[in-house]
Amino acid sequence: MKFYLTIICSMLFSALVAQNVYIAHRGASYDAPENTVAAARLAWETGADAVEIDVYLASDNRVVVIHDKDTQRTCGGKNFVIKTTPSVVLRDLDAGIWKGEQFKGERIPYIEEVIATVPEGKMLVVEIKCGSEVIPHLERIIGKSEKKGQIVFICFGWETIVNVKKAFPDNKAYWLSGSKQAAIKKLDEIAALGIEGIDMQYQAIDEELVTLAKEKNLEVLAWTVDNPEEAKRLNALGVTWITTNRPSWLKEQLER
């Protein structure tokens, strides 16, 4: 009897583990202009479990949502460097029309505007694209938000992710990396600092990396997966938090 109970429990646990968390990369960026309120809202409307956004600090100490260090790619070729430009100037730019006329007038959001869209039970994954200088301003904004517990942090900068974990000890934080070997070298330090795990470029994830991370009770997240076969491969390894440009579509493909 104990043997059969063990098998049943194992099967139930595996089923729970296999449930994916679909993170909309820069919002629903396949269909809407990335890192805008429109992209965040569309992601929630189409069933994403989380939205990932990128943030920089503008010259007037406002935290703005944009991936690049300047505005050229997503704002009609108008080139302003984020860190040396006041947010009021950045907000005058059109960050939506490049994706279609229906998005004309979308602005570079303040982080507060995206936080306001997060539904109950969902998560906002904040990637810090600048350095630790943004952390006091994130503390000011997120610290007074009722949605503070729904925020997760990721960052490529090692010093920055360490500092953000110190500032937000109750929020999950993950170090971003595209290198398996670099990640393996950092696992002990990540565990010692209380950082929850690593967020990896999906092609760098294999059984060895996942096993080593799990031995240290660390989580492994994956970015950016738009291929159903790769998502299935990651599931088989135990990776269930998947960042994708097409969350609703990918979910449909895997549930067929």
| pLDDT per residue as tens digits for the range 41-92 | 999 999 999 999 999 999 999 999 999 999 999 999 999 999 999 999 999 9
pTM: 0.92
Choose, from 67, 78, 83, 172, the residue flagged as catalytic: 67
Alpha-carbon distance of 153 to 194, in angstroms, equals 13
HSE value, Cβ hemisphere, 13 Å, CA-based, for 240? 10
67 in active site? yes
Question: Model confidence at 145, in pLDDT bands (50, 70, 90)?
Answer: very high
List b or e across 17-55, with b for residues whose CB sees 16 or more CB atoms inside 10 angstroms: eeebebbbbbbbbbbbbbbbbbbbbbbbebebbbbbbbb
pLDDT at site 18: 53
CB 22 within 8 A of CB 96: no
Is the distance from CB of 246 to CB of 226 less than 8 angstroms? yes
137 among known catalytic residues: no
Contact 140, 96 (CB under 8 A): no
Answer whether residue 7 shows pLDDT above 80: no
Cβ(240)–Cβ(19) under 8 Å?
yes
Task: Say which of 25, 26, 107, 180 is annotated catalytic.
Answer: 25
Backbone φ and ψ for 186, nearest 5 degrees, come out as -95, -10
